[in-house]
A = this chain, B = another copy of it.
Amino acid sequence: MNITLEAASNALRAYLKAFVTFSDEEWGELAKEMTLRPMPKKYVFVRFGEVSNTVGFVLAGSLRQYYITPEGDELTTYFFFEGALVGGYMSFIGKKPSLVCIETMESVEILTFPYSTLEALYDRYHGWERFGRKLAEYLGLGLEERLLEHLMYSPEERYERLVKSHRTKILERVPQQYIASYLGITPVSLSRIRARV
């Protein structure tokens, strides 16, 4: 992929317009801390047990987020594709060791900046503070939806909702065992559901 840092920064700025429109000054304060980073497949972007400080914006490729259960198993809880913000958000805001791992599923091109820069901008600019509020609210809505899906829907309904929300990307690009884990079922049950649907 041959995207320049400037083009990547502009892509992120356009994406964030859904939350806040920044002045050139406000944007410049974050843009000067941005870096373009390629990552190979299976690269650990956020490590379990470490306090995270890197926010990413996915330009190409995909990642997944997972927990380690008390039994030592991986439990996949989220997928990230092109155009998504990614990071150990709960670790950032709580300043606590991350409970999750985030790992690439494909080779990834990503734009990164330090969370500490963002936090300093929250203090200095009302506009950045607003972005922080809207981002947190947006993530809260997503978590609420995920919780509801687990409480209210069957694995089959959850599968249909997952496919609908991500179109075909999920089925084409994500290994079966991760999708099964995300749905809270075994790979065998997933095969059965896919055969039926």
In the complex, what distance in Å separates the CA atom of A141 from the CA atom of B96? 12
Is there contact, CB below 8 Å, between B90 and A141? yes
Contact partners of A29 in chain B: CB under 8 A: none
Contact of A129 among B77, B94, B126, B139 (CB under 8 A): B126
Given contacts A94-B141, A146-B147, whether A70 and B152 have CB atoms under 8 Å apart is yes
Stretch at the interface among A47-55, A130-138, A188-196: A130-138
Count of A interface residues, CB-CB < 8 Å: 31
In the complex, what distance in Å separates the CA atom of A163 from the CA atom of B70? 20
Q: Min CB distance, A19 to chain B, in Å?
A: 12
12 A-B Cβ contacts within 8 A? A70-B152, A75-B151, A77-B147, A90-B140, A90-B144, A94-B141, A122-B133, A129-B129, A133-B136, A136-B136, A143-B144, A147-B147
